[in-house]
Amino acid sequence: MKIGFHTDAFNSAYWNFEKCLVWARDHDVHFIECGLIDGASWIHGLGYQPHIALYEDPLMLRRKMETYGVRFSQVDAAYPLSGRDGPLYGVPYVLKTLPWAKLAGATRIATTDGLDQPEGLDDDRAMDLMKQSYEQLIEVAEVYEITITIEVHGYFTTNPDRVAQMLDFCDSPYLRMNLDTGNSFIAGQDPTEFARRFADRVAHVHVKDVSESLAAAVRGNETGIAVSQCALGDGVNADNIRQCLAILRDRGYDGVLSMECEGAGGAMIEKSLDWLRRTLAELGIPEEKE
């Protein structure tokens, strides 16, 4: 399996994207995931945000990343598709991202639903709207040969039966799951059951632990967290992560494990990286770096 990280880890440190590339190079990490900004943002323009704007040239960025020995595992265009404004904002966002991602060398784009039940829609109506959206996205994604992943993150996607329906919206190998060990846990679900049920449809993994205090406060009442505030291995979800890795290993998964935790300017994510590498070795899973 391959190890990567989401640049969300450095939101609070106000790093820019290139500083994340430096961190990746210095720690022998070769895969990176970031959010995409559709437009201009003052904090991004000033160099205080570790994500990428779609106005940046994708080929020039790809060449820069190559000098650091880093490439995209996935880019994040996950404006919630479950609400009334999903077709209005979310679908054009992903459609605009597809040609950009192709040039940037990204083979996966993350999508998801909203954290809460959509306002003014019953569940079945919201599912119908999402099905129409994904049908439109997959038609174009197949042309670009880019996988659209559905991240386990929200009201529908942390419900295993609902996400199973979503993965069947289109009969296409370009619609797959982004398993998230932390979001499934915080929603009150069992991450290992997600891994067992959907292992053959997983194309990307977010590895996220959960602190004991956060689990005690909100588990079962929230559907997703942006980044974990504890290092991998330090929380109450560590054993579940280990079991998920073993399940994925046994089902032949060889993709990216993208760490999603607070970076604390490098210190916390370095601890996470050490734990993940040690755990892979204990499970007999080779780390692939290309």
DSSP sequence for 225-279: -SSBSS-TTSSTTHHHHHHHHHHHHHTT--SEEEE-B--GGGHHHHHHHHHHHHH
Write out pLDDT tens, residues 135-193: 999 999 999 999 999 999 999 999 999 999 999 999 999 999 999 999 999 999 999 99
pLDDT, one tens digit per residue, over 200-236 is 999 999 999 999 999 999 999 999 998 899 999 999 9
pLDDT of residue 152: 98
pLDDT digits (tens, 9 = 90+) for 83-109: 999 999 999 999 999 999 999 999 999
How does DSSP assign the chain, residue by residue?
-EEEEEGGGGTTTT--HHHHHHHHHHTT--EEEEEEESS--HHHHTT--SSEETTS-HHHHHHHHHHTT-EEEEEE-----SSTTIIIIIHHHHHHHHHHHHHHT--EEEE---SSPPTT--HHHHHHHHHHHHHHHHHHHHHHT-EEEEES-STTTTSHHHHHHHHTSS--TTEEEEEEHHHHHHTT--HHHHHHHHGGGEEEEEE----HHHHHHHTTT-S--SSBSS-TTSSTTHHHHHHHHHHHHHTT--SEEEE-B--GGGHHHHHHHHHHHHHHHHTT-PPP--
Residue 290 confidence (pLDDT) above 90? no
Residue recorded with tokens 């210095």: 26
Given the candidates 3.30.420.40, 3.30.1600.10, 3.20.20.150, 3.40.50.1970, the CATH classification of the domain at 2-282 is 3.20.20.150
Does the predicted model carry a pTM greater than 0.95?
A: yes
